[in-house]
Amino acid sequence: MEVLALVYRNLRARPIRSILTLLGIVVSTASMVLFLSFGEGLRKALGAELSNVGPAILVLPEGVEAISPGYPELRPETLQQIQSAASELGITQVIPTATFARGGFDPSSSFIFQGLPKGIGPMVLYPNARIASGNPVPSPQGAVVGGGIAERNNLTLGKTLRLNPAVSLRVEGVLERAGGITDSFIFVPIEAVQTVLNTENYTSILLSIDPSRRAEDVAKAVKEKIPAVNAQTSGDVMRFAERAVRISDLVRFGISLVALIVGGLLVANTVMMSVYERIREFGLMRALGAKRNFIFGLVLLEALLLGVAGGLLGLVLGQAGSGLVNWYTGREVGLALSAVTFRLASFALLVAVVLGLLAGFLPARTASRIKVVEALGRV
């Protein structure tokens, strides 16, 4: 306790320098927490959305992943081949879709149109979707709008959606806002999307299977029987998404590492300047019998205390930033894209502790090696 009191007294003796150093650690830790929270949020959002998807298998063009399906490339012949082999493979429902996005950087002006076959509504693809008003299935001249888009753009029943100069649809249904991916979608007849994109192709084909069949086995059989396609289960999509998120985590950590290094240099500078200002004090302590290890531990403890305090405050600030991000993304796209998990919080505190130890090691080593005679001889 006496050592902690001594450390606290020294930090209070230089309040401006200590506060500025503490702010450096707080900002660097908070930025790391906020950057990495996007990876944790994406994992949670993807897991929740994939668990709400009805069909078991997603068929895409070969070499295309579910995260970025792109322009429709599945030809009508591919759909016919899958339909012909459906009974043999244990496929109970084949649902072709065509998707395109329109809009800008502002989420409120962006639209994702998902074209569905006649008689198919969003509840078939997303069982948790609920209709708030109107029809749950779009007619050949109608559309069902996600709750988030409807709220942001005041899209009520009867309003007209203009996909391009030649294609206009009337809002016939509005989904309840569910805080998921359906909030950002507009479900329209598949022919409307194909007309806008000037193609007969499909973006993806969704397959429901017999409960007695394993999705992995059916997906493998589809890839073997149908040329130039990639059949993915929800597990395959999640594994690909996890790899993508891990790569993005590394990129974000690399960016935040710059802030961590700056914070570490600030701590090292503060502690080193403190050492030089207290040379006579350390010399006197040595003359009174203090060991080198005691001096070393005293200085290192000061750096560690700054690191821990900065880490805790940075974690609180990062959590607040994450909350603001989720408030914005929840309002605009219906998804919480940031999450400060226990794993992330523990990692951030560990980094702050290591940062304090590394930044204080050299100053502590310098202080412990001060010669008593030279220190007492300084004016």
Q: Answer yes or no: do 276 and 130 share one domain.
A: no
Q: Answer yes or no: do 248 and 293 share one domain.
A: yes
235 belongs to a structural domain: no
Q: Answer yes or no: do 179 and 120 share one domain.
A: yes
233 belongs to a structural domain: no
Distance of CA 331 to the CA centre of its chain: 16
Q: Answer yes or no: do 39 and 112 share one domain.
A: no
Q: Answer yes or no: do 364 and 268 share one domain.
A: yes
pLDDT value at position 241? 64
320 belongs to a structural domain: yes
Instruction: Give the range of the structural domain holding residue 194, as residue numbers without chain letter.
Output: 63-227
Q: Answer yes or no: do 259 and 355 share one domain.
A: yes
Q: Answer yes or no: do 223 and 245 share one domain.
A: no
How many angstroms separate the CA atoms of 330 and 45, rounded? 11
313 belongs to a structural domain: yes
Q: Strands (DSSP E) along the chain, which ranges?
A: 57-61, 91-102, 111-116, 131-134, 142-145, 160-164, 167-175, 185-189, 204-209, 229-233
Contact residues for 352 (Cβ-Cβ < 8 A; gap 6+): 25, 29, 307, 308, 310, 311, 312, 314
341 belongs to a structural domain: yes
Q: What is the full per-residue pLDDT of the chain (379 aa) written as tens digits? A: 667 777 777 777 777 777 877 887 888 888 888 888 887 777 776 666 655 566 778 888 887 765 555 678 899 999 999 999 999 989 999 999 998 877 655 555 567 899 999 999 988 888 888 899 999 999 999 999 988 888 888 889 999 988 888 889 999 999 998 777 788 889 999 999 999 999 999 998 999 888 888 888 888 899 888 888 888 887 666 666 667 677 777 777 777 777 777 777 777 777 777 777 777 777 777 777 778 888 888 888 888 888 888 889 999 999 999 888 888 877 766 667 788 888 888 988 888 888 878 877 877 787 777 776 565 555 4
Contact residues for 127 (Cβ-Cβ < 8 A; gap 6+): 52, 54
Number of separate domains in the chain:
2
Q: Answer yes or no: do 219 and 101 share one domain.
A: yes
207 belongs to a structural domain: yes
